[in-house]
Amino acid sequence: MLLSSLEGALDQTSFIPPKSFCRAMATYLEFIQQNEERDGVRFSWNVWPSSRLEATRMVVPLACLLTPLKERLDLPPVQYEPVLCSRPTCKAVLNPLCQVDYRAKLWACNFCFQRNQFPPAYAGISEVNQPAELMPQFSTIEYIVQRGPQTPLIFLYVVDTCLEEEDLQALKESLQMSLSLLPPDALVGLITFGRMVQVHELSCEGISKSYVFRGTKDLAAKQIQDMLGLSRPAVPMQQGRPLQTPEQPVISSRFLQPVHKIDMNLTDLLGELQRDPWPVTQGKRPLRSTGVALSIAVGLLEGTFPNTGARIMLFTGGPPTQGPGMVVGDELKTPIRSWHDIEKDNARFMKKATKHYETLANRSAANGHCIDIYACALDQTGLLEMKCCANLTGGHMVMGDSFNTSLFKQTFQRVFSKGYNGEFRMAFGANLDVKTSRELKIAGAIGPCISLNAKGPCVSENELGIGGTSQWKICSLDPSTTLAIYFEVVNQHNAPIPQGGRGAVQFVTQYQHSSTQRRIRVTTIARNWADAQTQLQHIEAAFDQEAAAVLMARLGVYRAESEEGPDVLRWLDRQLIRLCQKFGQYNKDDPNSFRLSESFSLYPQFIFHLRRSPFLQVFNNSPDESSYYRHHFARQDLTQSLIMIQPILYAYSFHGPPEPVLLDSSSILPDRILLMDTFFQIVIYLGETIAQWQKAGYQDMPEYENFKHLLQAPLDDAQEILQTRFPMPRYIHTEHGGSQARFLLSKVNPSQTHNNLYAWGQESGAPILTDDVSLQVFMDHLKKLAVSSAS
Amino acid sequence: MSVNQQAHTGPPYGQPQPGYQGYQQPAYGGQSLPGVPQSQYGAYNGPMPGYQQPVPPQGYFPSLGFPSKGSPVSLNSDTSSLAPNFIGSLRAPPTSGAPPPASGASHPSGHLAYSQFEHGDVQNGIPASAAPMQRPPASQPFLPGSAPTPVSQISTFQQYGPPPASVQQLRNHMAGMTIGSTAASAPPPAGLGYGVGPSSYPPTTGAPRPPAMPGPPLPGQTVAGPPPSSQPNHVSSPPPPSSMAGLHPGPPMSGLHGPPPPTHPPQPGYQMQQNGSFGQMRGPQPNYGGAYPGAPNYGSPPGPPPPPKRLDPDSIPSPIQVIEDDRNNRGSEPFVTGVRGQVPPLVTTNFLVKDQGNASPRYIRCTSYNIPCTSDMAKQSQVPLAAVIKPLATLPPEETLPYLVDHGESGPVRCNRCKAYMCPFMQFIEGGRRFQCCFCSCVTEVPPHYFQHLDHTGKRVDFYDRPELSLGSYEFLATVDYCKNNKFPSPPAFIFMIDVSYNAVKSGLVRLICEELKSLLDYLPREGNMEESAIRVGFVTYNKVLHFYNVKSSLAQPQMMVVSDVADMFVPLLDGFLVNVNESRTVIASLLDQIPEMFADTRETETVFAPVIQAGLEALKAAECAGKLFIFHTSLPIAEAPGKLKNRDDRKLINTDKEKTLFQPQTSFYNNLAKDCVAQGCCVDLFLFPNQYLDVATLGVVPYQTGGSIYKYAYFQLETDQYRFLNDLRRDVQKEVGFDAVMRVRTSTGIRATDFFGAFYMSNTTDVEMAGLDCDKTITVEFKHDDKLSEDSGALLQCALLYTSCAGQRRLRIHNLSLNCCTQLADLYRNCETDTLINYLAKYAYRGVLSSPVKTVRDALINQCAQILACYRKNCASPSSAGQLILPECMKLLPVYLNCVLKSDVLQPGPEVTTDDRAYIRQLVTSMDVAETNVFFYPRLLPLTKADVDSDSLPAAIRNSEERLSKGDIYLLENGLNVFVWVGVSVQQGLIQNLFGVSSFSQISNALSTLPVMENPFSKKVRSIVDMIQGQRSRYMKLIIVKQEDKLEMLFKHFLVEDKSLSGGASYVDFLCHMHKEIRQLLS
């Protein structure tokens, strides 16, 4: 029965239905994978409970991870406009799920059932002559459309000059190098700041000219534009003189110039950049006007290129110490706020600063400009306060120790990296529109986006993440940018969906391609409905635990931004317990009887690691680090997100080829080299024996060449990861007993600790000095609670 | 006192003078002036006596006779000159024979004149006409009298002219009136009220008296008058007569001469007068009585006969004569300052100063060098006690600069109580272990390192080794205690801030300034023998926004930083903004080359102003130094910014109670800004290039209160004005200047400095603070009694100026001055200095216009002067007829100078004077020293054609009256701001060719801003004169060529201050009459 329903549910066009139940699991995995590859979509549930009540009982919400610009080698864009449903409230795009009457040249919208006439250009269509958007394999299709003037990409560098000489030098070089990576017609601008903020005019010969602003004064956009002379002069008009129109490009050209025109100039200008000349007395931090600098950058673009893709790139080497957005005073004796301070409500400037940057981020986002933050300092730089700038606009956030590190240099370089087709892996000003069939409503999204406040019939009243809208703006995105989108099933229990009914969701992403073309990518997916009361196994089998873990994690992290840490953990635990209660197989009050099906088996483990992750645990992390981690967590795709939740551990030894091993203290053995990838760090850990061997220099002896190879193998693998990862992970090479080994020790499941060391025996792995519970203990508790009849 | 007048006579009587001198000297010796001046007095005395004797009548008669002989009218004036002793020209008329009518005429004139003062116009017309009338007939040079007289008269008149004038001063027409009254008893009243008196008395008295008057009065005068004639006041009168006599009746002259000596005896009799040096009064009175009787007449009938009324301008005190006499008498010997209470030579005299314990008059001049002992006396006399102090005055090369004294780490030795600095007047006691303060009498221990034994006279043995013990002026090196924040100052900085708005660029100004700065920067002020200036420089340009420049030496190109946030000014850079000129030479040169290019196409017309000052201020703050901003500004700052101004120029406010608002700043913003500037030592010099109203009153607030200067070049045109501007700029940049200055004036117990005038800021009542103080800035300080002074100890002033030198050294400059004290008013009046007095009065009045209607200020001025003179008359002059105007010798120019002040643009603007001009002048005058106010109010008029081509001396100046100009001559007139070259219509072609290089009068161009360089002696001479004069002034004067009967001549005539002015200012003669009336009112 299950099979049949499944078969019926799945549309042929979408995927090949599983042939047998026993293969169902494998089939679902394939299905999921296939869908992800084709559409960049992963749903927590791939068969949807058909009523609101049932859906809520599923614990994990119906949601998906959407990678709007997932790189598709096999997706040539079509060069025409999409065909839209004519109902003003719908405007869904013609897609393979639509019913088409070829004879009448009509099509029925699968979301609102509106019947639409094909446009004249489609006069020639027939069953055999279908336009691409009707072909099943084009459930995702990309249109290139001609809309509005094409403006080149804009890069506005906002550079902190309160840096150490060495850092500044490195940064200058990076910036100079970046000029060669930009598209030649891209516009670049330069703002430098320290105690003052300087907006450099790039067009002048002979004398370098800059507009200077006080770093302590917040200026309204209008003021900034006036002061930069960007506002249109109204006077000549009043005088009735033939207005010699100062064209917009002319005006802006003073500050934003095509790279090919001024790269020499700008290279010189960058080369001449001096450290902030204002004296910094002993015991003081340099005065750094980050807040005003950003404000001016935003104002400048707002006034010159609204609604055009632009990138504000902030390079800062320390916390803002004055003016709006100030994070800490300039007295070195007052340390920058810690989590402790924040909990005690001791962070004087935090709220105000956050508000400042939020305002900026919103303004910037409204104009489609994104803000990158490249913060390199040993201390905190105020990312906590500034995070929204990157979070809301889709900008990058990079945190390093110094600009003079390969971490920064290569990361920065990678911003300008190009995809397989030679195009920049960046897109701007995306507008994501989500349409759902009637049984579904949109609860919200979590990711680097802001709401466009598009209320509509498919917007749910219950918000998850950024809700209350069916459209979001993503100012900057790259092929891996991934949003979590949450839905609500609104179908009432007493209005069953006919057998074989499918729910559909359409994602319409309009964006500015890096080639400055406007493009629209449309992804339409459909999933079967199933009655949870009768077909629970069916639904259960279609559970995507990886996606679910990430989706739940995003919700958790999203909550953690505004709620107390323990509350979030409690919520997460409760959700997990409920899920286990719902889907586990057990006898009441008998923990030992507890079993989870394969499709749920990994989920608790993910949650276990999530609970320990820096996304939810602030202990041992500075507020900046937490913000940094959360920022990346909220935008990476599923694979990367899972790595972040549960780092990957590989073992290298003479006992066999490299193999993934349990992220567990028991995996730490003396004769192994471990390679851990936590997304943010790559740790290579030499076991005790290996380390001794290495110290003894065996690797240099010809007869121990195999040892040399062993040592080299993880390095090569690490390189491979380093090459592809953005941002560049911190690369840590350590060994048993090394101080940096803590990165590894803090991640692994503390199955052996100083508490239970002897119980487990000395030979098996390394004990972790922690009071954290191990996965085993966690699972035991989970089982107990899940089977408890009390809850 | 009377001396002045005599001086006039002097020349004519050249010979007599010697004789007189002899006599007089003794007489005056007592007074104060040992040498020269006395001679003058002598001269006067001489005449006087002469008159007294039988001669006098003759003398007068002659004069009278002349007039009578000649056309009555002219004669009248002359006669008046006779009457001179008493002013009354009126009398003359009577004598002339047409007394009644004459008198009547005069009256009117008199009325008119007065009325002018009081009411203004109606009558002006008439008087004006009258005046011209008189003159023409009189033959311009010498008045009516001359007409009748032979040709020779001219010359003689010139010479004599003055004397009579002086005599006349004494008497107004009014006096005449009164005299008449005396005669008739009734007349006096008539005299008093021109208006009134005349009406009632005129008819009656008029007719009768005239006839009678002539005869009797004269004799009377002679009799009583002569002796007293008391040269003091009227002295001059005698001479004229004599001269007159000389001309006509040879005998009388001789007679006169003879008599004078003998007269001495008589004088004794009058000693009273002489003491007061006012004796003359009596003499004159009688005379006038006679003459004036006519005056009364005027009141009534007179109207018609214009001739009679006028005073002879030649007979009233002549500034030229006074200056000339002082120059002759006191210019030859050095002025040694060792003696207490010495009156220094006039500012117009070239003299050397030897400092022997008192500050040079170049540093300090007082209104009086003999101060009343009590406040009652001071109040009674109404003579303001003020000192005009120019602490950093430039000295001629022959005089030594103040020595720099270093008292070591403990700083200068000072009195424990009043903190006065060690000076020559401190008394060392107890064998030198202590000293008693000369100011507060407190006894202070002498610090061990400063101890020195005393010699038998009680002087320290090292008296002559220590400037602070033996000199009037010297400097102390200040210790760190005298520095702001207890930190030695950094060298100051100059910041050049250039307006680059459309107007400035278009007029070529920006380019001009940039070009000039390139070379000018090599001439920044240096300390002594330092190789390069320690001053750092910075550059800012601005229109609606400000552009700062980074000219750090390490840069290949200057960097420009635009600050558009003018609402909240700040300095965008620290390092590289203020630089050493030599180190950053190439970058600066590159910048100055580029500035004109960068803004060549600017279309920005709006400017800001306050933010510019703020920027400079902030820059100095950031650099932690004092300094000076040179701001070159073109327009009213209407751009949106703090200190934004609106055009509020409203000529309708003139002569209303709201007129004062034109002088007040629009907003208090600038006052606060000035305060901040002063606190930082940021001095602002403002160069203005307006094409329209730009509210100098407001823009000038900061320069004014920070001790800066304002230069204004209205309608600046590159071709004509650049030379003047560049000269001013060069001088302004190069001149010696001190920064962050605080001045305090300490006085000995009994008087106290109570009021200060000048360009500075005061945060309390005693300390004058100036962000910058240059060698031209002057502060006038007024003193008041708070206790009694003693004649024995006199009064002491110590002016201490703490400042930062241009090399950044902190110093104290000390000037000490000791004055006498008197219990007799006569001593006070004998030791006054009118020039200084005028300096004070002008500043006082110019400040008054900020708070009172201009008319009130003018009335107050007149009233105060009337009181001063009345007090003299009442207490010092020997009794005489009330109808006589008697002036103290030292103050005999007070009326003419005062009249000039009253007529000045600030107090009585003509229609062509803009509000900005008035505000500008008001501020300018406030920082002027005595020499500057002197020439500013009474311009110097030189007949160029009379110049001796072969000598390097200047031609003798002549009085500022149109009637002194001959249409065949070329004249030069300067007042410190402008130089006019006036060319008469009938000047010889050759001269025109030589001077202007054109062949005829009509081809002379008005547009010339300099005289063409011609290779001939006359041209060379004239140009050298112009150059010399330019060199004497702190500002380069604008040269204006005026052709007679050209429209520009109106402008020129404005400066002929003895004439009636178009704006309603009274002529000298009229004013004198008015003063006389006022005085008489006070006396009665």
Facing residue for B573 by CB, picked from A219, A272, A277: A277
pLDDT for the residue numbered A765: 64
> Which residue stretches of B693-833 are H helix?
696-699, 701-705, 718-734, 825-830
Instruction: Give me the half-sphere count of Cα atoms (radius 13 Å) on the Cβ side of residue A61.
Output: 28
Average pLDDT over residues A210-214: 90
pLDDT of B316 higher than 70: yes
pLDDT of B137 higher than 80: no
Quote the minimal CA–CA distance from A272 to chain B in Å.
9
Facing residue for B570 by CB, picked from A208, A211, A214: A214
Coil/strand/helix, residue A114: coil
User: Could you give the C-alpha distances from A337 to A315, A387, A566, in angstroms and in order?
Assistant: 21, 15, 20
> How far is C-alpha A763 from the chain's CA centre?
41
Helix H or strand E segment including A100: strand A99-101
**Token pair listed for B13:** 């009587």
On chain A, the residues whose CB falls within 8 A of the CB of B576 are: 277
pLDDT for the residue numbered B645: 93
Angle, CA B632 vertex, CA B629 and CA B633 arms, to 5°:
120
**A198 to chain B: nearest residue by CA?**
B561
B921: Cβ contacts below 8 Å, ≥ 6 apart: B904, B905, B906
B562 to A272: CB separation less than 8 angstroms, yes or no: no
DSSP designation for B414 = B
Say which residue the tokens 């009253």 belong to: B902
pTM of the predicted protein model: 0.78
Quote the minimal CA–CA distance from B634 to chain A in Å.
21
Per-residue pLDDT tens over the stretch A414-454? 999 888 778 888 999 999 999 999 899 999 999 999 999 99
On chain B, the residues whose CB falls within 8 A of the CB of A204 are: 560
**DSSP codes, B135-198:** HHHH-TTTHHHHTTS-HHHHHHHHHHSHHHHHHHHTB-HHHHHHHHHHHHSSHHHHHH-TTHHH
pLDDT for the residue numbered A204: 64
| Side chain identity at residue B298, one-letter code | Y
First to last CA, chain B: 23
- The residues of A whose Cβ lies within 8 A of any Cβ of B are 196, 198, 201, 204, 206-214, 217, 219, 223, 226-229, 272, 277-279
Per-residue pLDDT tens over the stretch B254-272? 333 333 333 333 333 333 3
pLDDT of B160 higher than 70: no
**Token pair listed for B983:** 């060319």
> Which residue stretches of B809-853 are H helix?
825-830, 834-848
pLDDT for the residue numbered B8: 39
A228 to B564: CB separation less than 8 angstroms, yes or no: yes
The Cα B806–Cα B392 span in angstroms is: 12
pLDDT of B62 higher than 50: no
Is residue A764 very low, low, confident or very high in pLDDT (cuts 50, 70, 90)?
low
**DSSP codes, A510-545:** EEE-TTS-EEEEEEEEEEEEE-TTT-HHHHHHTB-H
The Cα B984–Cα B1001 span in angstroms is: 9
pLDDT for the residue numbered B20: 38
A641: Cβ contacts below 8 Å, ≥ 6 apart: A65, A482, A550, A553, A554, A633
User: Could you give the C-alpha distances from B264 to B4, B37, B57, B750, in angstroms and in order?
Assistant: 19, 17, 18, 39
pLDDT for the residue numbered B926: 92
pLDDT for the residue numbered A683: 94
Is residue A364 very low, low, confident or very high in pLDDT (cuts 50, 70, 90)?
very high
**Token pair listed for B372:** 């009343």
Is residue A405 very low, low, confident or very high in pLDDT (cuts 50, 70, 90)?
very high
CB contacts < 8 Å between A and B, how many? 62
B561 to A277: CB separation less than 8 angstroms, yes or no: no
Quote the minimal CA–CA distance from B579 to chain A in Å.
14
pLDDT for the residue numbered B1064: 81
Facing residue for A277 by CB, picked from B558, B575, B591: B575
> B578 near B619, Cβ under 8 Å?
yes
Radius of gyration of chain A (CA): 28
**Helix B36-45 with B16-29: angle, nearest 10 deg:** 110
> A390 near A633, Cβ under 8 Å?
no
pLDDT for the residue numbered A73: 84
pLDDT of B386 higher than 90: yes
**A276 to chain B: nearest residue by CA?**
B573
- Name the pairing type of β-strands B737-747 and B795-804: antiparallel
Coil/strand/helix, residue B993: helix
CA dihedral B852, B858, B864, B868 (to 10 degrees): 160
Q: What is the mean pLDDT of chain A?
A: 87
B559 to A278: CB separation less than 8 angstroms, yes or no: no
pLDDT of A318 higher than 90: yes
pLDDT of B1082 higher than 70: yes
Residue B386, strand partner residues:
B782
- If one counts every other C-beta atom within 10 angstroms of the C-beta of residue A239, the result is 8
DSSP designation for B659 = G
pLDDT for the residue numbered B115: 38
Altogether, the residues listed in chain A come to a count of 791
- A67 φ, ψ (degrees, to nearest 5): -110, 95
Average pLDDT over residues B973-999: 91
Coil/strand/helix, residue A460: coil
The Cα B895–Cα A162 span in angstroms is: 70
The Cα B877–Cα B873 span in angstroms is: 5
User: Could you give the C-alpha distances from A153 to A172, A201, A203, A250, A312, in angstroms and in order?
Assistant: 21, 18, 18, 17, 11
pLDDT for the residue numbered A142: 93
Angle, CA A639 vertex, CA A634 and CA A644 arms, to 5°:
55
Residue of A200, A210, A237 best to disrupt the B interface, most CBs of B under 10 A: A210
Helix H or strand E segment including B740: strand B737-747
Q: List the single range of A469-473, A737-741, B134-138, B720-724 with lowest mean pLDDT.
A: B134-138
B560 to A214: CB separation less than 8 angstroms, yes or no: no
Per-residue pLDDT tens over the stretch A616-633? 998 888 999 999 999 999
pLDDT of B780 higher than 90: yes
Facing residue for B562 by CB, picked from A212, A217, A272: A212
A217 to B568: CB separation less than 8 angstroms, yes or no: yes
Q: What is the mean pLDDT of chain B?
A: 75
> B102 near B309, Cβ under 8 Å?
yes
pLDDT for the residue numbered A423: 86
Cis peptide before B642 (omega within 30 of 0): no
DSSP designation for B599 = T
pLDDT of B95 higher than 50: no
> A284 near A329, Cβ under 8 Å?
no
pLDDT for the residue numbered B130: 36
Facing residue for A217 by CB, picked from B548, B565, B573: B565
The Cα B904–Cα B208 span in angstroms is: 42
| Percentage of chain A exceeding pLDDT 70 | 92
pLDDT for the residue numbered A232: 58
On chain A, the residues whose CB falls within 8 A of the CB of B572 are: 196, 198, 212
pLDDT of B660 higher than 80: yes
| Percentage of chain B exceeding pLDDT 70 | 71
On chain B, the residues whose CB falls within 8 A of the CB of A229 are: 564
A212 to B575: CB separation less than 8 angstroms, yes or no: no
**Token pair listed for B943:** 């007949």
